[in-house]
Amino acid sequence: GDSVTQMEGPVTLSEEAFLTINCTYTATGYPSLFWYVQYPGEGLQLLLKATKADDKGSNKGFEATYRKETTSFHLEKGSVQVSDSAVYFCALAYDTNAGKSTFGDGTTLTVKP
């Protein structure tokens, strides 16, 4: 079956540090890949997505590239801010599976001033 594995957290960084959150996946087909962000007490919001190999998704300074050869979709940001503190979820989904999403366990990021 499908699965998504994220690096274990929590991750604590100082403001302006470089962020990487690793995500690898196992899929039976050719999924689209997503990063969602969850702020405390809220639902998830889409951060960025990529629909095919070598696509790069980007939003709000975050980037991730769909690497089919390594089955990875690592999230990066060059300079984090305190406001980036949240839980980040990597996910995959495809049309042939009723659009159901498979999520990783989430990585908690705390950015200190």
Partner 1 sequence: DGGITQSPKYLFRKEGQNVTLSCEQNLNHDAMYWYRQDPGQGLRLIYYSQIVNDFQKGDIAEGYSVSREKKESFPLTVTSAQKNPTAFYLCASRKTGGLEAFFGQGTRLTVV
Based on CB atoms, which residue is closest to partner 1, 80 or 87?
87
Q: Which of 69, 70, 99, 113 binds partner 1 (CB under 8 A)?
A: 99
Classify the phi-psi angles of 60: left when phi > 0, otherwise alpha if psi is within -120 to 50, otherwise beta.
left
The token duo for 83 is: 């406001």
Calpha distance 1→97 (Å, rounded): 11
Calpha distance 9→87 (Å, rounded): 10
* 12-71 residues near partner 1, rule: CB under 8 A: 32, 34, 36, 41-46, 49, 51
Strands 107-112 and 56-59: unpaired
Shortest separation between residue 79's beta carbon and partner 1, angstroms: 26
- Does residue 88 belong to the site contacting partner 1 (CB under 8 A)? no
Binding site for partner 1 (CB under 8 A): 4, 32, 34, 36, 41-46, 49, 51, 89, 91, 93-95, 98-101, 103-106
